[in-house]
Amino acid sequence: MDILIKGGRIVDPSQDFDCIADLGINMGKIVACGSGIKEKANKVVDATGLIVVPGLIDMHVHFREPGMEEKETIYTGMRAAAKGGFSSVATMPNTKPATDNEGIVKYILTKTAEKPLINVFPVAAATLARDGKQMTEIGELKKAGAVALSDDGDCITNSALLRRILEYAGSLDMPVLEHCEDPVLSGQGVMNESIMSTILGLKGIPAASEVVMVARDLTLCKMTGSRLHIQHVSSAGSVELIRWAKSKGVPVTAETAPHYLVLTDDDLHSYSTMLKVKPPIGSKHDREELIKAVKDGTIDAIASDHAPHLHAEKDVEFDYAPFGMIGLESSIPLIMETLINPGILDFKDLVRLMSLNPANILGLKGKGSLKRGADGDVTLIDPEKEVVLTKDYFESKSINTPFLNWKCKGAPTSLFVSGKQILKDEKIIG
């Protein structure tokens, strides 16, 4: 075989596996997973003390290409992903122009293939130009390689249109990923509406802006029976509704982002524009409910919503800064530091939330598992590795993160994509 990853703790909930064992990869596929593999390998990787998991999948990133290459390109985005231990990402369609036709889907795949590092799965726009009026050619987009549909950044506010998109996409087995926000309720808001927005004098976005659209979306999901995935859930109210819907068998899935699990709106006291993100960072209660929801499975996935912006765009008055923060490189260190090390989540949860479930939601065959025959995508995490998230730690073209210089214990150190080592000792070698 090509590679033998020896002596690591393999955590793979897809086969209910969690023990010290070896993992063999040949011709880009997993060929063996078990203890004491004797077969000779061209390359042996000592994984003693490391956690060996199915390649991580970030199902919500913005790579800005085509159109905003000054913020991020597909290549720099892939480097950021590799650094963060992600073998696969799903890119959102708010490119310029929007990813609303086969040409742009193919452009993204071509750009990825020019300097391949990791797997890039384009998500296509659900409506033309993402303007919420006319359904895209969903079947053609799927043929071109799109894995899901979304108008991310904007909510499909026309309920009749969302109904039709769900029905049509459902018939083609394409999940619809929704950014739930009532733009009228959000208004000119820039942060969570709370005592903090009152003190800071910043315009608030009520949590209801998300919750009312989640309620609507769940209703349409139940009505159509088509798969709907709710993106970047940020509030306790949404969690409660999703939990209820799941109990009724509604085919809904949901994700949240690390920043909603780590930060609260109290952190905005300094007016740092790095914390300006949509949906806005919620209250302590929101964070507590989100943590419960990722633990109990109400929320299926953690995705970064990696949203690069130029320093100059963020280095302005809070009102004028764009929404969004990067997250690919910081996701695992943050989750290790704040959720795994304190014992709130375990590695099985991490794999479920960041590999297995995203693979299932997006229908990525061969991903999210280390079973024999699965793709040779493997992430190695060193739980003892202490990292400081300095500027140099980031590979993204933009460094708009509130987590700059945070110290975390636990980080991805190696990454294999289809059996090829891309990250070694935290350095990209692909």
List, by residue number, the catalytic residues.
305
**Which segment (61-69, 88-96, 169-177, 199-207) binds another protein by CB under 8 A?**
199-207
Nearer to another protein, 128 or 310 (CB): 310
Q: Does 418 bind another protein (CB under 8 A)?
A: no
Nearer to another protein, 147 or 202 (CB): 202
Q: Measured between alpha carbons, how far is 334 from 350 in angstroms, rounded to an integer?
A: 12
**Which segment (195-203, 257-265, 291-299, 410-418) binds another protein by CB under 8 A?**
195-203
The residue among 153, 219, 159, 151 whose CA lies nearest residue 186 is 153
The residue among 90, 71, 108, 67 whose CA lies nearest residue 307 is 71
Q: Which of 15, 134, 198, 390 binds another protein (CB under 8 A)?
A: 198
Nearer to another protein, 160 or 184 (CB): 184
Give me the least distance between CB of 310 and another protein, in Å please.
Answer: 12
Return the exposure string of 46-66: e unless at least 16 CB atoms fall within 10 Å of the residue's CB, then b.
ebeebbbbbbbbbbbbbbbbb
Say how many C-beta atoms besides its own lie within 10 A of residue 223's C-beta: 12
Give me the least distance between CB of 313 and another protein, in Å please.
Answer: 10
Q: Does 46 bind another protein (CB under 8 A)?
A: no
Q: Which of 11, 200, 307, 332 binds another protein (CB under 8 A)?
A: 200
Strands 301-302 and 252-256 turn out to be parallel
Give me the least distance between CB of 273 and another protein, in Å please.
Answer: 9
Residues 318-377 that bind another protein (CB under 8 A): 318-320
What is the 8-class DSSP label of residue 379?
E
Q: Measured between alpha carbons, how far is 298 from 281 in angstroms, rounded to an integer?
A: 19
Tokens coding 343 = 């014992």
**Which segment (75-83, 158-166, 315-323, 332-340) binds another protein by CB under 8 A?**
315-323
Secondary structure (H, E, C), 275-338: HCCCCCCCCHHHHHHHHHHHHHCCCCEECCCECCCCHHHHCCCHHHCCCCCCCCCCHHHHHHHH
Give me the least distance between CB of 265 and another protein, in Å please.
Answer: 11
Q: Does 244 bind another protein (CB under 8 A)?
A: no
Give me the least distance between CB of 202 and another protein, in Å please.
Answer: 5
Nearer to another protein, 325 or 380 (CB): 325
Q: Does 195 bind another protein (CB under 8 A)?
A: yes
What is the 8-class DSSP label of residue 375?
B
Nearer to another protein, 17 or 271 (CB): 271
Give me the least distance between CB of 405 and another protein, in Å please.
Answer: 17
Output the CA angle 382-385-389, nearest 5 degrees.
Answer: 115
Say how many C-beta atoms besides its own lie within 10 A of residue 403's C-beta: 23
Q: Measured between alpha carbons, how far is 193 from 206 in angstroms, rounded to an integer?
A: 5
Nearer to another protein, 285 or 407 (CB): 285
Give how many residues touch another protein by CB under 8 A. Answer: 20
Q: Does 394 bind another protein (CB under 8 A)?
A: no
> What is the maximum alpha-carbon separation in the chain?
66
Residues 262-281 that bind another protein (CB under 8 A): 270-271
3-state secondary structure of 7: strand
Number of residues in the chain:
430
One character per residue 175-194, x = contact with another protein (rule: CB under 8 A): ------------------xx
Nearer to another protein, 263 or 381 (CB): 263
Name the site residues for another protein (rule: CB under 8 A): 193-195, 197-204, 270-271, 312, 315-320
